[in-house]
């Protein structure tokens, strides 16, 4: 077992392959956090907790008059409470029936369970029973009889520990949870920074690194979703930590709704991290005997830099969060019609595109917005999920049959959570819209939100989408959501329960997704929210890939995909080759550059393929062939960030075979310079003593420049030349210089005997 419980001394130690986590119930029953870091032994490390009489830090009544050193305001805790002497940010805030806001948790009991716990109605890391363990520690507030069950899941081989909380009202009166975080982690000492990922629509997950100085630092979302603006993932690290060295901790929240991550450095230089549902629009009623489950947080520690944090999370997401037959099955190379046609298309036009695409080796045709209801723009029809046969010129099944007869699979775009005022669904069920009675609603993209907190709305959407899936040969669904939620109010909840709306909405969304993915396991679901507005580990439990951003410009995508890579694997990032000039930025980039960047994701195309030349068509064939050849390496390899988009010259990344047999290094130059300094990167993940040969893929190289360039290749590219893994790591790999604006290179490195 990876969990060692010393009941006599109240000591609990969790071990993964490279890390140790320890907590201790003290003589008062307070569950103290003791240690999280590099793997060590089971001995009691609570001696590092220093107690001292601190002015204005009060003492629990139970410790008596002679123990002024004992204060909840300074002790490192596993789950802190508001209102009873700890003045720092807290994990739990309970309103009791008498109006008081107080809870004081004391250790009650524990159990160790073989296998990983699950959470009813919520996504959670899963594992084979013999490869994971669970520790459940039960705390109790003696006054109110509120129980808090702290759940710890340990995936030893993955260096992952998960955290979740179940709160049970064992008292005789109703209570209201005003805050119920999933994670409380206290760092007893150290100077820390944290890395968070901010953004906006079409520019998501920009890296920001800040010192965690005294005071409260916070990111979060009150938009109903995890949002474009802040991602529910953060890294806490010591100063000077980089990709390959330094101590750091990664925290990923498996939740697709409103969240908050807070960090506070306190009066004695301890740092506390809190993560959970955002409390601003949260007030959950718990009647006697009822329980509330918080979403899960996945955490990992690395003493070898940030890159290891990412690789730990990537492996876990791919194998222990993503589910179903599409978790490991090769996903098809798709073409989406959106940027080719927008709303203006006919069935005949779509069939023509599909036929041309099939001839070039594409495997899946995706019909985007505009195929249903009265939907020729974004002002009407949303919610009326009935094919517009007049617009298509045939039934949806007939169109799908035409496309599948070409040898392609067929997919559809949906936005199930929204509704147009000009729609039959809204006219029939205005009470299903999220609006506040007596107020005019806030519109976004000319649409309202459907109340997914309601069971009847959930049931309707399951029935309507199931009918389409059963009638039509569909193998792919793009699940979109194109606005933030405000005017939060449900006609199905009473006034006392409106604070439950936002979380109930997410639970409803998960119920619909769980039902549809279980019922139609052959369908590949791709998540989307105006691109990356709901890119989180919670959605990946239902949709194994997410459209990374509505911005498909290759140069902008360098930053977007770079930021995304810190917490999420390549196999989760939806990425397409689009037309130039790009529709979002107006930038023109070489075809090879667009394909190179899109290959750092699930790979597909989004352009009018009927307008491409024969030469461009041949390039698509080559790109698809290369992607398929290196599919396993790209999708399942170990990811290394070799040079960041913030570098003056170029961005470089690498996918390495887990066994070190091969690697694919990709580089994209940001611009062309004269007389440039060489770009040399240290290749990671290869076998030190093995020998390797390299193959340089060259596309879009001007003919004359190409002839000149081929006679000046750096060492290691010439036919038959060999170089060791040690040399590539220690001395580096020379990236060929840029021969044109936004030049891209892909270099395949393969072991030879």
Per-residue pLDDT of 685-695, as tens digits, reads 999 999 999 99
Distances 466 to 372, 523, 751 between C-alpha atoms, Å:
15, 11, 48
Check: CB of residue 232 under 8 Å from CB of residue 204.
Answer: no
Residue 110 · residue 138 · CB < 8 Å: yes
**Which DSSP letter does residue 246 get?**
B
pLDDT at 196 over 80: yes
Specify the pLDDT at position 711. Answer: 47
Residue range 166-195: average pLDDT?
A: 97
CATH fold of 334-547 reads TIM Barrel (3.20.20)
What's the CA dihedral at 357, 359, 363, 366 to 10 degrees?
A: 20
Write down the mean pLDDT value for the chain: 96
Q: Which CA distances in Å does 130 have to 114, 116, 133, 153, 160? A: 7, 9, 8, 13, 15
Phi, psi of 621 (to 5 degrees): -55, -45
Cis geometry, peptide bond prior to residue 565 (ω within 30 degrees of 0): no
Long-range CB contact pairs, 312-316, < 8 A, 24+? 312/158, 312/159, 312/160, 312/250, 313/160, 313/250, 313/252, 313/567, 313/568, 313/569, 314/568, 314/569, 314/570, 314/638, 314/639, 315/158, 315/569, 316/125, 316/155, 316/158, 316/160
List every span in the chain annotated with CATH 2.70.98.60: 3-320
Q: How many percent of the chain have pLDDT more than 90?
A: 94
Q: Is 587 exposed, middle or buried (0-12, 13-18, 19+ CB in 10 A)?
A: middle
CATH number of 639-752: 2.60.40.1180
94 CB-near residues (< 8 Å, 6+ apart): 81, 82, 83, 101, 102, 103, 141, 144, 146, 175, 176, 177, 178
Digit-coded pLDDT (tens) for 544-556: 999 999 999 999 9
Q: What is the DSSP-derived secondary structure letter of residue 466? A: H
**Listed residue (293, 348, 247, 311) closest to 150, CA to CA:** 293
Burial 720-752 (b: 16+ CB within 10 A, else e): eeebbbebbbeeebbbbbbbbebbbbbbbbebe
What digits encode the pLDDT tens for the residues 40-77? Answer: 999 999 999 999 999 999 999 999 877 899 999 999 99
Tens-place pLDDT, residues 569-593: 999 999 999 999 999 999 999 999 9
Nearest to 430 by CA among 468, 386, 383: 383
CA distances (Å), origin 394, targets 347, 348, 366, 371, 391: 7, 9, 17, 11, 8
Catalytic residues: 536, 616
Phi-psi region of 206 (alpha: psi -120 to 50; beta: other; left: phi over 0): beta
Contact between residue 291 and residue 120 where contact means Cβ atoms under 8 Å apart: no
Give the residue from 684, 667, 671, 682 showing the smallest Cα distance to 747. 667
Distance CA 97, CA 101 (A): 9
- Which tens digit of pLDDT belongs to each residue from 719-753? 567 899 999 999 999 999 898 999 999 999 999 98
pLDDT for res 247: 98
Residue found by looking up tokens 């041949």 in the block = 618
| pLDDT for the residue numbered 306 | 98
Q: Select from 438, 442, 455 the least CA-distant residue to 492.
A: 455
Distance separating alpha carbons of residues 670 and 714, to the nearest angstrom: 21
DSSP string, 558-589: HHHHHHHHTTS-GGGEE--EE-SS-TTT----
Per-residue pLDDT for 123 more than 60? yes
Q: What is the DSSP string of 106-152?
A: EEEEEEEEES----TTS------GGG-EEEEEEEEETTTTEEEEEEE
Tens-digit pLDDT profile for residues 142-158: 999 999 999 999 999 99
In CATH, what class is 3-320? Answer: mainly beta
pLDDT of residue 79: 98
pTM, to two decimals: 0.97
| 312 contacts: CB under 8 Å, gap ≥ 6 | 158, 159, 160, 250, 300, 302
Q: How much is the average pLDDT of 88-112? A: 98
CB atoms within 10 A of CB 681: 19
pLDDT band for position 262 (cuts 50, 70, 90): very high
Straight-line distance from the first to the last Cα atom of the chain, in angstroms, rounded to the nearest whole number? 41
Out of 282-296, 452-466, 737-751, pick the least confident.
737-751
In the chain, residues under CATH classification 2.60.40.1180 are 639-752
In the chain, which segments carry CATH 3.20.20.70?
334-547
């Amino acid at each position: 077992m990876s969990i060692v419980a010393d009941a006599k001394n109240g000591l609990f130690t969790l071990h993964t392959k490279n890390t140790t986590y320890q907590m201790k119930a003290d003589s008062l029953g307070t569950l103290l956090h003791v240690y999280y870091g590099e793997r060590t032994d089971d001995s009691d490390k609570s001696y590092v907790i220093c107690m001292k009489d601190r002015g204005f830090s009060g003492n629990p009544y139970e410790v008596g008059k002679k123990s002024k050193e004992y204060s909840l305001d300074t002790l490192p805790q596993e789950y802190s409470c508001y209102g009873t002497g700890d003045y720092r940010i807290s994990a739990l805030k309970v309103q009791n029936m008498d109006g008081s806001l107080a809870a004081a948790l004391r250790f009650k009991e524990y159990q160790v369970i073989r296998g990983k716990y699950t959470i009813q109605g919520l996504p959670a890391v899963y594992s084979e029973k013999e490869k994971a363990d669970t520790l459940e520690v039960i705390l109790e507030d003696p006054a109110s009889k509120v129980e808090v069950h702290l759940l710890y899941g340990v995936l030893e081989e993955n260096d992952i520990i998960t955290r979740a909380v179940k709160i049970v009202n064992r008292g005789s009166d109703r209570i209201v949870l005003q805050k119920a975080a999933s994670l409380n982690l206290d760092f007893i000492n150290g100077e820390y920074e944290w890395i968070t990922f901010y953004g906006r629509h079409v520019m998501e997950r920009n890296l920001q690194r800040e010192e965690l100085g005294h005071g409260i630092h916070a990111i979060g979302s009150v938009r109903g979703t995890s949002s474009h603006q802040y991602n529910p993932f953060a890294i806490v690290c010591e100063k000077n930590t980089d990709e390959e060295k330094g101590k750091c901790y990664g925290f990923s929240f498996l939740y697709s709704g409103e969240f908050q991550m807070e960090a506070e450095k306190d009066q004695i230089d301890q740092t506390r991290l809190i993560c959970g549902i955002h409390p601003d629009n949260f007030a959950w009623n718990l009647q006697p005997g009822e329980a509330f489950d918080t979403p899960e947080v996945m955490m990992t520690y690395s003493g070898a830099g940030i890159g290891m944090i990412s690789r730990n999370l990537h492996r876990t997401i791919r194998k222990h969060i993503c589910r179903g037959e599409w978790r490991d099955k090769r996903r098809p190379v798709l073409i989406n019609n959106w940027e080719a046609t927008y709303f203006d298309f006919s069935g005949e036009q779509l069939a023509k595109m599909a036929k041309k695409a099939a001839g070039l080796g594409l495997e899946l045709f995706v019909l985007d917005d505009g195929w249903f209801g009265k939907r020729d723009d974004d002002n009407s029809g949303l919610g009326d999920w009935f094919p517009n046969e007049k617009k298509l010129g045939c039934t949806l099944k007939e169109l799908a049959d035409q496309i599948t007869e070409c040898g392609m699979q067929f997919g559809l775009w949906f936005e199930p959570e929204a509704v147009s005022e000009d729609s039959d669904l809204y006219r029939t069920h205005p009470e299903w819209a999220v609006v506040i009675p007596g107020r005019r609603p806030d519109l976004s993209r000319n649409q309202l939100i459907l109340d997914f907190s309601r069971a009847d709305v959930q049931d309707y959407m399951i029935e309507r989408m199931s009918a389409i899936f059963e009638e039509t040969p569909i193998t792919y669904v793009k699940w979109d959501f194109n606005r933030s939620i405000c005017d939060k109010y449900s006609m199905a909840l009473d006034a006392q329960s409106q604070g439950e709306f936002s979380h109930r909405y997410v639970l409803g969304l998960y119920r619909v997704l769980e039902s549809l993915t279980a019922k139609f396991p052959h369908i590949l679901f791709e998540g989307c929210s105006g691109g990356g507005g709901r890119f989180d580990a919670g959605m990946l439990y239902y949709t194994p890939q997410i459209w990374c951003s509505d911005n498909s410009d290759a140069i902008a995508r360098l930053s977007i995909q770079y930021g995304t890579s810190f917490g999420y694997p390549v196999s989760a990032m939806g990425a397409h080759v689009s037309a130039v000039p790009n529709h979002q930025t107006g930038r023109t980039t070489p075809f090879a550059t667009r394909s190179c960047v899109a290959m750092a994701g699930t790979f597909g195309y989004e352009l009018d393929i009927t307008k491409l030349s024969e030469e461009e068509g041949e390039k698509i064939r080559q790109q698809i062939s290369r992607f398929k050849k290196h599919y396993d390496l790209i999708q399942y390899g170990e990811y290394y960030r070799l040079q960041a988009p913030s570098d003056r010259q170029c961005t470089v990344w690498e996918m390495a075979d887990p066994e070190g047999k091969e690697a694919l290094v990709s580089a994209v130059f940001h611009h062309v310079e004269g007389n440039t300094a060489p770009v040399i990167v240290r290749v990671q993940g290869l076998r030190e003593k093995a020998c390797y040969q390299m193959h340089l893929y060259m596309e879009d190289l001007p003919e004359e420049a190409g002839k000149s360039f081929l006679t000046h290749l750096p060492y290691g590219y010439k036919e038959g030349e060999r170089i060791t893994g040690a040399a590539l790591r220690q001395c580096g790999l020379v990236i060929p210089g840029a021969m044109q604006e936004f030049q891209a290179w892909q270099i395949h490195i393969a072991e030879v005997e």
